[in-house]
């Protein structure tokens, strides 16, 4: 149940500095409990207590990133490779034709699959990842400049990048306002910043609450809707060039996993199985979940399409350019 705005015990919003907040609901992960609190002014939602490095150290990052040399099992990785190739071809068309060798920056690049796709299109590629991310997973490290560390301490060329990606990354950052301001400085005058986050205002998020697949606390420190993301972009001197809430990659599966979570299965168990965990004594339960996934796949795709028509899809995807 949504409670009325109040001002007790919460720091001011890091984006609009508002002090009034709304308590939404609580979510458990393991033995920890977190609360979601939404700013009454700009709608930015925060995870409380704030998941700083000390809190995150209590949760196994090796499980979060996957245990093998790839995050997912081979068949899923093959699908991801095709998605990245299609994505790169789609976004490179936004770069002016006079740019001879486009420069691409992927903040939160994981293995570098998207950068590898851009590399084949003749681009100069840079990737940034968290220090906890396994460096031996980086693909083509001899041709892609990989940097591990926090964005604020890395030395990067100003106004140099024609495309910058924050693909399901901004929600992990300690200070989204600082990140956006820094990326504005790195973006070329005619460049584009692509920001993709889970849509906290989606029908899926409102329906499933703590069971929503994309909630992902404590790893997700912030939760955005269109209002809060537009507010952040405008404050960072960026204009919205394009907005979409449909994701063929994240939408249908996220909905299906949310359904499984709400039915009482261990949270994201099937998703963890796709990363190579599980089976053993849970083989029968996982086979039942696989059967349900197959049944729900087409309905999930249709629901994702329908909700995206009213901007209520599970993912917010904004293309931003300098004002």
Taking only the tens place, the pLDDT of each residue in 171-222 is: 999 999 999 999 999 999 999 999 999 999 999 999 999 999 999 999 999 9
* pLDDT for position 67: 66
Q: Output phi, psi for 294, to 5 deg.
A: -65, -40
User: What does pTM read for this prediction?
Assistant: 0.92
82, pLDDT greater than 90 = yes
Q: Are 135 and 148 in contact (CB under 8 A)?
A: yes
By residue range, what is the domain housing residue 168?
62-245+316-322
Residue 236 lies in a domain: yes
Alpha-helix runs per DSSP H in the chain: 53-56, 61-65, 74-92, 113-119, 176-186, 203-208, 226-235, 251-262, 269-274, 283-309
Percent of the chain exceeding pLDDT 90 equals 77
Residue 232 forms part of a structural domain: yes
pLDDT, averaged across the chain: 91
> CA-to-CA distance for 43 and 132, rounded, in angstroms?
30
Residue 2 domain-assigned (yes or no): no
The encoded tokens of residue 4 equal 């009325």
Q: What is the pLDDT of residue 10?
A: 66
Q: What distance, in Å, lies between the first and last C-alpha atoms of the chain?
A: 40
Q: What is the CATH number of the domain that holds 168?
A: 3.40.50.150
Residue with tokens 């015990």: 9
Work out the angle at residue 309's Cα, subtended by the Cα atoms of residues 268 and 258, and round it to the nearest 5 degrees: 10
The 10s digit of each residue's pLDDT in 263-277 is 999 999 999 999 888
**Mean pLDDT (whole number) for 144-173:** 95
Structure confidence at residue 2 (pLDDT): 37
Q: Is residue 138 in a domain?
A: yes
Question: Within a domain: residue 48?
Answer: no
Give the confidence band of 5 by pLDDT, cuts at 50, 70, 90: very low
Residue 170 lies in a domain: yes
How many structural domains are present in the chain? Answer: 1
At 227-261, the pLDDT tens digits run 999 999 999 999 999 999 999 888 999 999 999 99
């Amino acid at each position: 149940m949504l409670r009325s705005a109040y001002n007790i015990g919460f720091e001011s919003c890091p984006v609009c500095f508002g002090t009034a907040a709304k308590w939404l609901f609580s979510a458990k992960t393991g033995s920890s409990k977190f609360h979601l609190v939404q700013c009454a002014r700009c709608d930015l939602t925060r995870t409380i207590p704030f998941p700083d490095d000390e809190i995150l150290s209590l949760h196994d990052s090796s499980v979060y990133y996957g245990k093998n040399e790839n995050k997912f099992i081979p068949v899923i990785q093959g699908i991801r490779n095709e998605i990245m190739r299609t994505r790169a071809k789609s976004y490179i068309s936004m770069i002016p034709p006079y740019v001879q060798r486009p420069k691409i920056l992927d903040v939160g690049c994981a293995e570098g699959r998207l950068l590898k796709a851009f590399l084949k299109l003749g681009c100069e590629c840079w990737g940034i990842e968290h220090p906890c991310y396994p460096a031996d997973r980086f693909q083509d490290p001899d041709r892609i400049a990989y940097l591990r560390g926090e964005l604020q301490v890395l030395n990067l060329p100003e106004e140099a990048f024609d495309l910058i990606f924050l693909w399901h990354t901004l929600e992990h950052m300690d200070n989204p306002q600082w990140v956006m301001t820094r990326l504005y400085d790195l973006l070329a005058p005619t460049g584009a910043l692509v920001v993709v986050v889970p849509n906290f205002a989606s029908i899926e998020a409102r329906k499933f609450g703590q069971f929503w697949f994309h909630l992902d606390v404590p790893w997700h420190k912030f939760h955005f809707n269109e209002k809060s993301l537009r507010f952040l972009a405008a404050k960072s001197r960026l204009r919205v060039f394009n907005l979409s809430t449909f994701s063929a990659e994240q939408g249908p599966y996220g909905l299906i996993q949310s359904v499984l979570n709400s039915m009482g299965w261990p949270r994201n168990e099937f998703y963890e199985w796709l990363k190579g965990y599980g089976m053993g004594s849970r083989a029968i339960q996982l086979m039942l979940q696989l059967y349900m996934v197959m049944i729900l796949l087409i309905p999930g795709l249709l629901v994702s399409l329908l909700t995206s028509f009213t901007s209520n899809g599970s993912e917010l995807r904004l293309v931003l350019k300098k004002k």
